Structure 1
Amino acid sequence: MESDQAIDILGALAHPTRLALFRLLATNADDAMAAGRIAEQLGIAPSTLSHHLSALERPGLIRCTRQQRHLLYAVNPPVIRGLVTFLTDQCCGGRPELCGGPAGQSAA
């Protein structure tokens, strides 16, 4: 991943609604979610949701597919992995194992 793409992704996530939206989609990574269901879950208007979905879709963080008349949204795992790798590639002097283990654990 190039720095410009990482900056675009981080910029897209730098908004409370978009971060909540990304986290909602990430918790349902196995199943794409319809826009209406996302709006319900987040308690936001569909027009507002559309703006935020576009902001996350532009840098490739989420993807959209059409199923009949519904637009379904899901996270894009390769892009997420690419961002995490980019962020941790030089972590701790090139020793990423020092950064900690699985989510929620800190380094000893």
Structure 2
Amino acid sequence: MACLVLAVWGCGVGAFWGVINMLTVDYVGLDNLLVFSSVSSLINCVWLLVFSPLFGLILDKSGSYTVSLSVLGAVMGLTFVCWLFMPAAVAYDMRKEVEQQQQLQQTAVELEPVAVE
């Protein structure tokens, strides 16, 4: 059973790293890829520094790997649920961008000089 779980885990990790690069470029674009990678790495480093000891503390207090790994699994599940909301976030950004462009066009029309005959 453990081998099956590890095999599925490995396939999931491999699929993640295979797809994440394409998704990143789709969402942030090539112009922002360096900034995204930098911020993502910074967040990852802070996450590891802060939460690794916390998960170790959970392991020490519970005395069971099951509890600690269940907490890690719950965190991964939460991030998956957040990822499911990504299309809604992209749609929201697109609506805001369209509204801003419409406001700019309306402001430009209002500021056009009136020709005097």
TM norm. shorter chain > 0.5: no
Q: Which has the higher contact order (CA 8 A, sep 6+)?
A: 1
Normalized per residue, which structure has more strand?
1
**Superposition TM-score, scaled by structure 1 size:** 0.31
Structure ID, larger Rg = 2
**Superposition TM-score, scaled by structure 2 size:** 0.29
